[in-house]
Amino acid sequence: MSEAGAPRLATLFADVAGSTRLYERFGDVAAYAAIERCLQALKRVTEDFGGRTIKTIGDEVMAVFPTAEAVCDAAIEMQWRVLDLPPLEDERISIRIGLHYGAAVEKDGDVFGDSVNVASRLTEVANPGQIITSAYVVASLPERLTTGARRLWPVSVKGKAEPVDVFEVMWDGGEGATITLTAPFELPKVPQRMRLLYRGSQVAVDSDRPVVSIGRDTSNELVVDARNASRVHARLEWRRDKFVLIDLSTNGTYVLDDQQQEIRLRREEYILDGDGVISFGRSHHAGAGDCVEFYCEYAPSLLRAALHEAAVADTQRAEGP
């Protein structure tokens, strides 16, 4: 089965942190016994939450689960189980966990695909005691697990054109809390269209019309009669999920955003977001005169749309032809 038509699985990697140092400090026999005890605990948790252990790789366990909810619950329980393990003399064992939910291909007892690649990469960036996951997983979780999330930083993943948004699941809630998350989780707003308004006329920039030129010349998509405007004064481009204003003028372009902050462009580019006003060759604070208003419209999150498409595909697959 090709990855494009593959079912989705939640993949988890749990790695014993600092295992090399454990062997050096405590010796092969003691360190091996402690690590093996930890790996066995992780396998039991996997089974308890409806998952399957695919393999162990040295000091690491790879497991798959049917849903994002199951893998997240298992990851939290794994951290608690490891915390309860007896220490190796004066040092406690700790684990790093990375998990993702996505396309996967099962072959000869192993699993390959998007969920595996991303989960493995997220494990690499996790610190001891951390559970690291992606925005896709967080968006797939029920409300009891998404009262918040700690957004970290995007990371690059081999085979993906765009970095993956990374989140940490804060599992140590104290006083019996199952999970504590630090800030309300909100899916990122995705700009879909920008409207430009001038003297009652309107031009929209979006995926269907990705470039609009602005200036005094009638060849422009948006013609302005501003005294200080150049014949071709500026260009607005839609680049994936961003709207970029490019100054091409003699006198410069001024942008006033919805926070009343102004920036001047001279042969420069600037990303427009939200609402604001563009003036030509003259600051708004000096009485700019004729201006173009811009309004950014946001689509439902592309992530949410992807989740919907995935759910539809899974339903169709379950129903069969």
Q: What is the mean pLDDT of residues 309-320?
A: 52
Is residue 227 assigned to a domain?
yes
What would the DSSP string read from start to end of 153-172?
--B--TT-SSPBPEEEE---
pLDDT greater than 50 at residue 177: no
Q: What is the pLDDT of residues 125-175, one digit of tens each?
A: 888 888 988 888 887 777 677 665 577 777 776 666 667 778 888 776 433
Is residue 185 assigned to a domain?
no
Segments of 185-290 assigned E as strands: 190-198, 201-205, 211-215, 222-223, 234-239, 242-247, 253-257, 262-265, 269-272, 275-280
CA distance 68 to 72: 6
Is residue 241 assigned to a domain?
yes
Kindly state whether residues 155 and 211 are assigned to the same domain: no
Kindly state whether residues 158 and 32 are assigned to the same domain: yes
Structure tokens at 251: 């006198």
Is residue 311 assigned to a domain?
no
Q: How would residue 182 be classed by pLDDT, with cut points 50, 70 and 90?
A: very low
Q: How would residue 5 be classed by pLDDT, with cut points 50, 70 and 90?
A: low
Kindly state whether residues 113 and 261 are assigned to the same domain: no
**pLDDT (0 to 100) of residue 306:** 52
Q: How would residue 74 be classed by pLDDT, with cut points 50, 70 and 90?
A: very high
Kindly state whether residues 20 and 159 are assigned to the same domain: yes
- Structural domain including 238 reads 190-299
CATH classification at residue 137: 3.30.70.1230
Is residue 174 assigned to a domain?
no
CA distance 292 to 76: 52
Domain end residue (candidates: 169, 202, 224): 169
Kindly state whether residues 83 and 127 are assigned to the same domain: yes
Kindly state whether residues 13 and 129 are assigned to the same domain: yes
Kindly state whether residues 82 and 53 are assigned to the same domain: yes
Kindly state whether residues 109 and 26 are assigned to the same domain: yes
Q: Are 10 and 70 in contact (CB under 8 A)?
A: yes
Structure tokens at 293: 């208003």
Residue 202: alpha-carbon gap to chain centroid: 33
Structure tokens at 24: 């050096």
SS3 132: strand
Q: What is the pLDDT of residues 12-36, one digit of tens each?
A: 999 998 888 888 888 999 999 999 9
Kindly state whether residues 133 and 210 are assigned to the same domain: no
CATH classification at residue 221: 2.60.200.20
How many structural domains does the chain have? 2
Kindly state whether residues 24 and 84 are assigned to the same domain: yes
Is residue 306 assigned to a domain?
no
Kindly state whether residues 94 and 229 are assigned to the same domain: no
CA distance 78 to 70: 12
Kindly state whether residues 278 and 224 are assigned to the same domain: yes
CA distance 109 to 199: 66
**pLDDT (0 to 100) of residue 38:** 94
Containing 2, the helix (H) or strand (E) segment is: none
pLDDT greater than 70 at residue 180: no
Q: What is the pLDDT of residues 260-292, one digit of tens each?
A: 889 999 999 999 988 999 999 888 877 656 899
pLDDT greater than 70 at residue 86: yes
Is residue 161 assigned to a domain?
yes
CA distance 277 to 224: 14
Is residue 313 assigned to a domain?
no
CA distance 79 to 160: 29
CA distance 37 to 152: 31
